[in-house]
Amino acid sequence: MDLTTVLQRFQQGDRRALARAITWVENGTPESGELIRSTYPNTGRAHVIGITGPPGAGKSTLVDRLAARFRELGQSVAIVAVDPTSPFSGGAILGDRIRMQRTLTDPGVFMRSLASRGHLGGISIATGDVVGLLDAFGFDVILVETVGAGQSEVEIMELAHTTTVVLIPGMGDDIQAIKAGILEIGDVFAVNKADRDGADRTVMEIEMMLDLGHMGEAGINRWQGEAQINSGAAQRLDRTGHHGHADMSAAFTVSASARHAADRHGTANPGDLSWRPPVVKTTAKDGIGVEGLVDRMTQHLQFLRETGRWELLKQRDAAAKLRELITLRAARTVLDRAAAAGDLARLTGDVAARTLDPYTAAEEVLQRHLGI
Amino acid sequence: MRKLRVLVAKLGLDAHDRGAKVVARAYRDAGFEVIYTGIYQRPEAVAEAAIQEDVDIVAISSLAGAHLTLIPQLIQLLRDQGADDMLVLAGGVIPDEDVPDLIKAGVAGVFGPGSDLDEIIRFTRERATQER
């Protein structure tokens, strides 16, 4: 299939064209630029839900159940599942389909397995663009399952509207250990394998951790400065206490139901509309608790929309993507020019021989080839 | 070099997946991205998976004797959906006299018991890069 055929069939809803488009985007082939150009205007509609958690927590089984539940609710579902690439061979075993037998031949479900291809953030570099294609194709819900994650695989929160952290009972002190990692990024928590001993205790530990963070001034999962937002001032978009500063202004009209959503999940102060992440017990293998989990995800989406955060997230994503692309392209351009002029080899030699320090060498390259 | 993607699958009532796992592992170690779908799959489910995953190769492991029925069915399903550029391989317990029928149905290579893993990899890489 050539680009014109793929684009044409993509618009008509052909799944094979979608699959080929994903391959091109994943491989960064010459066609991918035009693909993204022509599909991008149709993105920004789907509810992107991240599913992350340690290996063996039951993420794939849960995703299978979630997809089936969203189908019952009449939503079309795309699944993106990321598994690790071997650092030795560059190959990968992508086994998430084994657990996803419930919806495999349902035409309202599309699933794609991606290898992490050396990227360490829990997803692959191309995952965002793949999600964009699925979004443009028209799926209502996109479930993104990360590689088994521990403390630092937090990139999913940059991609998903609703990040779901899946944990299991019996982690004991491990919960303490990952407190500063993926526990900070959850909008919704699932304690899976809840038929095992210790589920209630695990729920309680997470609840306590969330309450501690939630009550603090710049705590976990808080969106700061509602007053500032309402006055339209530039403000810090801070969902997790760890985001960078994003300067944006927005005026929010807060609806009664958003207030209700905030109240329902409990907040430290009356009138504070920050989202307190709910904790849901699930037993994915038997489908128990899945309906409740989907309800919480949908409520979170509603909360984002009604408080104007949905639009703010779009701003944030656009800013991050632009920054990423400019950084990559600028760096590559400068390096190419410096290499072509022979400066790179010369300076590398000087730095290796200790006749020049790396900071001065970099400065020289930037002055000469970027003009700063 | 383009990353080659291979779907390793078992069709029908065939529970013995040791061979499939050994082959999957060999592909991984040779740098392929391997999608493994597990046991008891219908041809429809395998065809759909191959399409969604846009694989270059579909490798079917068969130890239960239904290869002459299920593998041609799978190939027909792939053709119906325009996925006739995928390389289909068969392995496992397949009697020599069945090989010509499988080749006629569109199987590119058949690898019986005792096949050399390196040979499977070499054959796959050579043919898959030609096909697409």
Share of chain A above pLDDT 70, in %: 80
pTM to 2 decimal places: 0.85
Q: Which residue has the higher pLDDT, A99 or A67?
A: A67
**CB nearest A89 (choices: B28, B45, B82):** B28
Q: Which candidate in B35, B42, B79, B84 is best for mutational testing of the A interface (most A CBs within 10 A)?
A: B35
Task: Tell me what the mean pLDDT of segment A348-358 comes to.
Answer: 96
pLDDT at A214 over 60: no
**Confidence (pLDDT) at A1:** 86
Least confident of A237-241, B43-47, B111-115: A237-241
Q: Binning pLDDT at 50, 70 and 90, where does residue A244 land?
A: very low
How many CB contacts within 8 angstroms connect chain A with chain B?
77
Going by pLDDT thresholds of 50, 70 and 90, the confidence category of residue A251 is very low
Which tens digit of pLDDT belongs to each residue from B90-131? 999 989 999 999 999 999 999 988 899 999 999 999 998 765
Angle at A323 between CA A320 and CA A325, to 5 degrees: 105
A93–B53: do the CB atoms touch at under 8 Å? no
CB A94 within 8 A of CB A83: yes
Residue-level pLDDT at A271: 47
Q: Nearest Cα to B107, choosing from B116, B28, B92?
A: B92
Instruction: Compute the average pLDDT of residues A300-321.
Output: 90
What superfamily does domain B5-131 belong to in CATH?
Cobalamin-binding domain (3.40.50.280)
pLDDT above 90 covers a percentage of chain A that reads 58
Q: Do residues B32 and A91 touch, judged by C-beta distance below 8 A?
A: yes
The pLDDT of residue A180 is: 60
Asked if B128 has any chain A CB less than 8 Å from its own CB, the reply is: no
Question: Domain-by-domain residue ranges, chain B?
Answer: 5-131
Nearest beta carbon to residue A113 from set B2, B30, B35? B35
pLDDT for the residue A223: 46
Q: Do B54 and A19 touch (CB under 8 A)?
A: yes
Nearest to B79 by CA among B103, B102, B47, B37: B47
Residue A67 is predicted with a pLDDT of: 96
* Shortest CA gap A319–chain B (Å): 31
A-chain residues near B34 (CB < 8 A): 91-94
pLDDT score of A252: 39
Listed by number, the residues of chain B in 70-109 with a beta carbon closer than 8 Å to a beta carbon of chain A are: 81-83
Residue B25 forms contact with A (CB below 8 Å): yes
Of the partner residues A86, A89, A95, the one whose CB lies closest to the CB of residue B36: A95
Is B28's CB within 8 Å of A111's CB? Answer: no
Contact A90 B44 (CB under 8 A): no
* Domains recognised in chain A with CATH numbers: 1-42 (no CATH), 44-307 (3.40.50.300), 325-369 (no CATH)
Check residue A329 and give its pLDDT.
87
Q: Has residue A225 got a pLDDT over 80?
A: no
Per-residue confidence band for A232, with pLDDT thresholds at 50, 70 and 90: very low
| Model pLDDT, residue A228 | 39
- Mean pLDDT over A156-163 rounds to 92
Spatial distance between the Cα atoms of A120 and A95, rounded to a whole number of angstroms: 19
pLDDT at A246 over 50: no
- CB contacts of A92 in chain B (<8 Å) are 28, 33-34
Among B24, B31, B45, the residue with its CB nearest the CB of A93 is: B24
Between residues A122 and A78, the one the model is more confident about: A78
Show the 3-state SS of chain A: CCHHHHHHHHHCCCHHHHHHHHHHHHHCCCHHHHHHHHHHHHCCCCEEEEEECCCCCCHHHHHHHHHHHHHHCCCCEEEEEEECCCCCCCCEEECHHHHCCCCCCCCCEEEEEEECCCCCCCCCCCHHHHHHHHHHHCCCEEEEECCCCCCCCCCHHHHCCEEEEEECCCCCHHHHHCCCCHHHCCCEEEECCCCCCCHHHHHHHHHHHHHHHHHCCCCCCCCCCHHHHHCCCCECCCCCCCCCCCCECCCCCCCHHHHHHHHHCCCCCCCCCCCCCCEEECEHHHCECHHHHHHHHHHHHHHHHHCCHHHHHHHHHHHHHHHHHHHHHHHHHHHHHHHHCCHHHHHHHHHHCCCCCHHHHHHHHHHHHCCC
Q: What is the mean pLDDT of chain A?
A: 83
The pLDDT assigned to A220 comes to 38
**What is the model's pLDDT at position B114?**
85
Minimal Cα–Cα distance from A126 to chain B, Å? Answer: 14
pLDDT digit string (tens) for B1-40?
A: 689 999 999 998 888 888 899 999 999 999 999 999 888 8
pLDDT in tens, A30-55: 999 999 999 999 999 999 999 999 89
